[in-house]
Amino acid sequence: MSAGCAIDACPRGPEFLAAVLQNRFNAEILDRTGLLGFTDWWLTAGCLAQTVWNLKAGKAPETGIEDYDLFYFDPDTSWGAEDHLISRCADLFSDLPIRIELRNQARVPIWYRQKFGLEYGAVQSASGGIDRFAYQTTAIGLRRELDGDYRLYAPFGVEAALDGRVIPNKALPIASVYAAKVARWKNIWPHLDIMPWVEGGDADMCDD
């Protein structure tokens, strides 16, 4: 199980949480997902960092967010088990005008090679998918425990998200994915500082 850490134990964690919760959809998802009975799950990816960027840019918190990613881990990798939970999730959030993408991270290695031509590697927890994001900046997970406390999973920290720096993560050789995403992001959030994907070396800061 990916335990993450208490909000106060992560540098700038309280600042990040306060910003993320200004998006009412993030808040609703975090409040309700515990009802699905997961022991290992995270709300993750763009919906968190992009909320922060919207606030920085003076936009409504939900602007430009295409979907809300929920990662969970279940050793039952059958399609039927995941599909059942996707249906339950759709019912739970049917009143929200957003798209929620629920995915069992234990299943990703099964279909990833066929879809992308790359080996994904075994996954042992919900955080395994976060570790493989093409961007360090959005490799962040947040969840609310049944006792009401929030926990954060941020292997690269939250500073880059808060400061608008987009940094590649080369856990997988997916430079084309990185390039396509950051081009879209820069169009919506022009203030972002984008670091280019440089094969075989560290990237230099690129402001345009």
**Residue 9 maps to a domain:** yes
**Residue 208 maps to a domain:** no
**Residue 202 maps to a domain:** no
One-letter-per-residue 3-state SS of the chain: CCCCEEHHHCCCHHHHHHHHCCCHHHHHHHHHHHHHCCCCEEEECHHHHHHHHHHHCCCCCCCCCCCEEEEECCCCCCHHHHHHHHHHHHHHCCCCCCCEEEEEHHHHHHHHHHHHCCCCCCCCCCHHHHHCCCECCCCCEEEECCCCCEEEECCCCCHHHHHCEECECCCCCCHHHHHHHHHHHHHHCCCCEECCCCCCCCCCCECC
**Residue 205 maps to a domain:** no
Residues in the chain predicted with pLDDT less than 70, given as ranges, are 200-208
- Report the pLDDT value the prediction gives residue 205, as an integer from 0 to 100: 31
- Report the pLDDT value the prediction gives residue 200, as an integer from 0 to 100: 64
How many domains does the chain divide into?
Answer: 1
Domain span including residue 137: 5-194
- Report the pLDDT value the prediction gives residue 2, as an integer from 0 to 100: 78
Compute the distance between CA of residue 197 and CA of residue 58 in angstroms, rounded to an integer: 28
**Residue 46 maps to a domain:** yes
**Residue 38 maps to a domain:** yes
pTM: 0.92
- Report the pLDDT value the prediction gives residue 115, as an integer from 0 to 100: 86
Q: Which amino acid is at 21?
A: L
Q: What is the pLDDT of residues 159-186, one digit of tens each?
A: 999 999 999 999 999 999 999 999 999 9
**Residue 201 maps to a domain:** no
**Residue 204 maps to a domain:** no
